[in-house]
């Protein structure tokens, strides 16, 4: 599996060595009659770590855990180091266990990106992809990078075997977080959006591909320009078709699908107030694609600058289709928005 992390676990977190181990030993009030007491075990840990004898260092620090007596405020750091020793020893189950204990010690908040990277890489090596997906969620929450977002959204899509309509919703999130990374991402999303009846969005996607120099360069530049010109013309014609008569026809339909699409199209053309008004009205009707409609409604609210409303809409999405997982990711992203 490709390593998306660009991270090497070959350097010990230095803050945990030297004075740290001595403080664990010397500041405990517990005295043991065992063959080795806590201070001796921790000195062994220091010695083995200095020699890069990681299996022995892991065995010694686990023996220290069993003895007890470490200061509570030091346990998180100690489990972090144990996770490192286990990872270097290729004992990935123990690496995961100790790393989780370290993070839990700090109320579930990782203290460094490297903690989650070690956890994620261990899960990949054990083919624990559900666990890996959960760790990716923590990475995008605490240390957001476009590579983490891209991999996470891809895994959610594959997990739920998204339909084309839901894949478009996933692409929208991917685009918003800046994780459209390849030429193919822009082209596929634009074609999906155009097929769904949103040429304004499709044109905007292709234009952003040109702006980022993912499109309009290389051997396919001519076809990219042709697509851009075609979508620009379709977008202009689409805007002309948005009128009161279209709205009234959609309002008379028992299903809210058409009315929602009209509203979302208004939003895509920049008419947020009217778009949100029609999408809100469409919510009162049955909709054959209710999950997608709610995701689009939340997105339109976000575009309009109403983040509390967007978060409320995303929080209301439930069900087994994967829409609720995308909604959860939207709320993680929105919690980082200013």
Q: Which residue has the higher pLDDT, 215 or 337?
A: 215
Give the pLDDT confidence of 48-68 residue by residue, as tens digits.
998 999 999 999 999 989 888
**Confidence check: pLDDT of 192 > 60:** yes
**Confidence check: pLDDT of 8 > 70:** no
Give the pLDDT of residue 319. 79
Return the CATH number of the domain spanning residue range 14-143.
Answer: 1.25.40.10
**Confidence check: pLDDT of 25 > 60:** no
Contacts of 307 (CB under 8 A, 6+ apart): 301, 334, 337
**For the residues 7-30, what does the mean pLDDT come to?**
47
Q: What percent of the chain has pLDDT over 70?
A: 89
**Confidence check: pLDDT of 84 > 80:** yes
Q: Do 309 and 296 contact (CB within 8 A), yes or no?
A: no
Give the pLDDT confidence of 122-170 residue by residue, as tens digits.
999 999 999 999 999 999 999 999 999 999 999 999 999 999 999 999 9
**Confidence check: pLDDT of 4 > 70:** no
Per domain, the residue ranges of the chain are: 14-143, 242-283
39 falls in which pLDDT band (50, 70, 90)?
Answer: confident
303 falls in which pLDDT band (50, 70, 90)?
Answer: very high
User: Using H for helix, E for strand and C for coil, what is the string for the chain?
Assistant: CCCCCCCCCCCCCHHHCCHHHHHHHHCCCCCCCCCCCHHHHHHHHHHHHHCCCHHHHHHHHHHHHHHCCCCHHHHHHHHHHHHHHHHHCCCHHHHHHHHHHHHHHCCCCCCCHHHHHHHHHHHHHCCCHHHHHHHHHHHHHHCCCHHHHHHHHHHHHHHHCCCHHHHHHHHHHHHHCCCCCCHHHHHHHHHHHHHCCCHHHHHHHHHHHHHCCCCCCCCCHHHHHHHHHHHHHHHHHHHHHCCHHHHHHHHHCCCCHHHHHHHHHHHHCCCHHHHHHHHHHHCCCCCCCHHHHHHHHHHHHHHCCCHHHHHHHHHCCCCCCCHHHHHHHHHHHHHCCC
User: pTM here?
Assistant: 0.86
């Amino acid at each position: 599996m490709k390593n998306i992390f660009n991270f090497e676990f070959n350097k010990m977190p230095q803050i945990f060595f030297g004075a740290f181990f001595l403080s664990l030993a010397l500041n405990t009030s517990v005295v043991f009659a065992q063959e080795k007491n806590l201070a001796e075990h921790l000195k062994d840990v220091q010695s083995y770590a200095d020699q890069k004898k990681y299996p022995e260092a892991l065995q010694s620090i686990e023996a220290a855990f069993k003895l007890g007596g470490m200061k509570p405020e030091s346990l998180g750091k100690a489990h972090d180091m144990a996770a490192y020793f286990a990872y270097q020893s290729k004992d990935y189950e123990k690496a995961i266990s100790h790393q989780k204990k370290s993070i839990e010690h700090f109320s579930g908040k990782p203290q460094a990106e490297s903690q989650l990277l070690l956890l994620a890489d261990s899960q990949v090596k054990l083919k624990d992809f559900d666990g890996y997906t959960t760790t990716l969620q923590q990475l995008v929450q605490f240390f957001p990078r476009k590579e983490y977002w891209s991999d996470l959204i891809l895994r959610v899509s594959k997990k739920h075997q998204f339909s084309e309509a839901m894949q478009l919703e996933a692409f929208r999130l991917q685009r918003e977080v800046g994780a459209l990374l390849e030429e193919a991402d822009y082209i596929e999303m634009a074609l999906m959006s155009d097929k769904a009846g949103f040429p304004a969005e499709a044109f905007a996607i292709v234009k952003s591909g040109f702006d980022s120099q993912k499109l309009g360069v290389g051997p396919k530049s001519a076809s990219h320009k042709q697509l851009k010109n075609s979508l620009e013309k379709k977008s202009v014609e689409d805007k002309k078709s948005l009128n009161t008569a279209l709205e009234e026809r959609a309002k008379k339909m028992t299903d809210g699908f058409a009315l929602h699409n009209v509203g979302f199209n208004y939003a895509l053309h920049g008419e947020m107030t009217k778009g949100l008004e029609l999408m809100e009205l469409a919510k009162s009707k049955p909709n054959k694609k209710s999950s997608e409609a709610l995701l689009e409604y939340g997105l339109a609210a976000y575009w309009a600058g109403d983040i509390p409303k967007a978060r409320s809409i995303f929080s209301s999405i439930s069900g087994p289709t994967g829409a609720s997982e995308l909604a959860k990711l939207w709320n993680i992203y929105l919690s980082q928005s200013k």
